[in-house]
Amino acid sequence: MSTIFGVLATDLLKGLLIGIGVRIVIHFIRGGSIFRLNAKIVPARDQSVTIFLRGSIVFSSWIPLKKHLQRFFEEEKRVTLDITETKLVDRRVMSRVEEWVKKFKENGLELSVRARTTSIDE
């Protein structure tokens, strides 16, 4: 919405910058740092691992999360992604996680997401 108002009030480039700026401020207010992934990785005795995520999971934290998923995919681990302690999950990140769930399943592996009702950014 802030992008639309920014575009209508100014021009396209300024409107986009206003929208991005507002989004960053909202992420800071809701979850602290948006530039690092707050993750704790707990391996189990079997071939499984749980990734506990906290804080905000947004576009800028997707790359480190993707690296973890890629590594565990290559190691053929069973992965549980626990987002019960997150304050905010960006919808684009969730759609990418869903793609990884499919990728794991297509290759005979398991990636599950443990969640509670959380704020998913729209």
- Are residues 107 and 76 part of one domain? yes
In terms of C-beta distances under 8 Å and separation of at least 24 residues, what long-range contacts does 58-61 make, across chains too? 58/27, 58/31, 58/34, 58/88, 58/90, 58/93, 58/121, 59/90, 59/92, 59/93, 60/34, 60/35, 61/34, 61/35, 61/36, 61/37, 61/93
Range of the domain at 23: 2-31
- Are residues 44 and 8 part of one domain? no
The pTM assigned to this predicted structure is: 0.70
- Are residues 43 and 26 part of one domain? no
Give the pLDDT of residue 121: 53
- Are residues 70 and 94 part of one domain? yes
- Are residues 98 and 74 part of one domain? yes
Convert the pLDDT of each residue in 62-118 to its tens digit: 899 999 999 999 999 999 999 999 888 888 999 999 999 999 999 999 999 999 864
- Are residues 80 and 22 part of one domain? no
Q: Work out the average pLDDT over 5-30.
A: 69
- Are residues 62 and 15 part of one domain? no
Q: How many domains does the chain have?
A: 2
Q: Does the pLDDT at position 27 exceed 70?
A: no
* 55 close to 38: Cβ distance less than 8 angstroms: yes
- Are residues 11 and 56 part of one domain? no
